């Protein structure tokens, strides 16, 4: 039996052990992520819970009844947050896709300065950025509107998307596009059938970052939205110092979309490689 055959047999024999090891690792990770949520979940169904009691003395569904009640306006706030976060992730993804390509594939004089300018919104405190934008948005009539909140949340999200996409493009081989062009593909067709499938996993990761940032944003939403645009984080902060049971229920509701998106995009976050035009993997 050849060395290659022996190696193949050894890999097949070790496959169950690897699956068990991977399963234990994944289970440990999920347990570490879920443990901090246990007290929050207990708080959301507690009526009275005082120190030093380990568990609540009385349980109640009052907080969830309030959260799901139409009078609480939680569902509209949830939908508003979802709309804003999705819009921000899409717009930031489109902008970062182009900016990341320019920074990742090309070398030019002053590139470090451009990187610094891209990161500048992350260096400046968010409160300063929001207050500076608030004056401009009031003059433009964008204050107290969902559009204004979407635009201001692009400030902290575009740098993350751009940096992620620049790292993705730095490992991208332009020869794939050249081969597609030689075979008669137009630039647009080459982009959709070659470039986009290759960088799509990185784009998913970048858009996920943008979604999470926009979903949990509080200061910019409060200043630009002016209390008119009510999102889930605004409701959460209003109950954080007054009613811990309702605040805990809102916390779990805030975490839900992030968990769903993480599960749906897990195959891209796990190091899966893109399929180029359906003809093979990079």
Query: 141 and 96, same structural domain?
Result: yes
Please indicate, yes or no, if residue 10 is contained in any of the structural domains: yes
Query: 216 and 151, same structural domain?
Result: yes
Mean per-residue pLDDT, 80-100: 92
Closest CA to 96 of 176, 154, 174: 154
**Structure token pair of residue 201:** 């996993």
Supply the range of the domain harboring residue 34.
3-59
- Cα separation, 232 vs 245, in Å, equals 15
Please indicate, yes or no, if residue 177 is contained in any of the structural domains: yes
For 228-245, the pLDDT digits (tens) are 888 988 888 888 777 788
Helix (H) or strand (E) holding 173: none
Question: Mean pLDDT of all residues in the chain?
Answer: 81
**Structure token pair of residue 60:** 């109640």
CATH of the domain at 84: 1.10.3720.10
Residue 274 or 65, more confident = 65
Count CB atoms within 10 A of the CB of residue 66: 17
Residue 228 pLDDT: 87
For 34-83, the pLDDT digits (tens) are 787 888 888 888 877 777 767 777 788 888 888 888 888 888 899 999 99
Q: Is 48 helix (H, G, I), strand (E, B) or coil?
A: strand
257 pLDDT higher than 50: yes
Query: 90 and 119, same structural domain?
Result: yes
pLDDT-derived band at 84 (thresholds 50, 70, 90) equals very high
**Structure token pair of residue 157:** 């999200």
Cβ proximity of 55 and 42 under 8 Å: yes
Q: What is the torsion angle, in degrees rounded to the nearest 10, for the CA atoms of residue 7, residue 8, residue 10 and residue 15?
A: 140
Please indicate, yes or no, if residue 226 is contained in any of the structural domains: yes
Residue 4 pLDDT: 54
Which residues have a Cβ under 8 Å from the Cβ of 189 and sit 6 or more positions away?
A: 180
pTM: predicted TM-score of the whole model, two decimal places? 0.78
Please indicate, yes or no, if residue 236 is contained in any of the structural domains: yes
Residue 184: which region, alpha, beta or left (left: phi > 0; alpha: psi -120 to 50)? left
Query: 99 and 53, same structural domain?
Result: no
Residue 264 or 191, more confident = 191
How many structural domains compose the chain?
A: 2
Query: 133 and 259, same structural domain?
Result: yes
For 130-150, the pLDDT digits (tens) are 788 888 888 888 888 999 999
Residue 125 or 215, more confident = 215
Query: 55 and 80, same structural domain?
Result: no
For 161-176, the pLDDT digits (tens) are 999 999 898 888 888 8
Please indicate, yes or no, if residue 207 is contained in any of the structural domains: yes
Give phi and psi for 95, each to the nearest 5: -70, -45
Please indicate, yes or no, if residue 168 is contained in any of the structural domains: yes
Residue 114 pLDDT: 86
């Amino acid at each position: 039996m050849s060395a290659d055959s022996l190696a193949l047999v050894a890999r097949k024999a070790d496959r169950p052990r690897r699956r068990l090891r991977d399963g234990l690792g994944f289970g440990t990770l999920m347990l570490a992520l879920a443990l901090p949520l246990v007290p929050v979940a207990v708080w959301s169904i507690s009526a009275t819970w005082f120190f030093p009691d380990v568990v609540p003395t009385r349980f109640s569904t009052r907080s969830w009844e309030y959260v799901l009640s139409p009078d609480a306006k939680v569902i509209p706030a949830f939908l508003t947050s979802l709309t804003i976060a999705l819009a921000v992730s899409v717009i930031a993804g489109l902008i970062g896709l182009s900016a990341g390509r320019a920074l990742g594939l090309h070398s030019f004089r002053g590139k470090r300065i451009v990187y610094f300018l891209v990161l500048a919104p992350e260096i400046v405190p968010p409160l300063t950025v929001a207050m500076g934008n608030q004056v401009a948005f009031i003059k433009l009539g964008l204050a107290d509107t969902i559009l204004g909140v979407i635009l201001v949340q692009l400030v902290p999200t575009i740098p993350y998307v751009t940096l992620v996409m620049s790292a993705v493009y730095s490992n991208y081989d332009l020869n794939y596009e050249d081969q597609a062009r030689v075979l008669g593909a137009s630039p647009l067709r080459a982009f959709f059938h070659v470039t986009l499938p290759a960088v799509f996993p990185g784009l998913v990761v970048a858009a996920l970052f943008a979604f999470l940032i926009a979903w949990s944003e509080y200061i910019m939403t409060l200043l630009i939205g002016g209390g008119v645009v009510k999102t889930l984080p605004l409701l959460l902060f209003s109950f954080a110092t007054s009613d811990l049971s309702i605040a805990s229920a809102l916390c779990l509701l805030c975490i839900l979309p992030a968990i769903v998106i993480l599960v749906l995009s897990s195959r891209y976050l796990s190091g899966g490689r893109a399929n180029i035009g359906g003809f093979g993997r990079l």
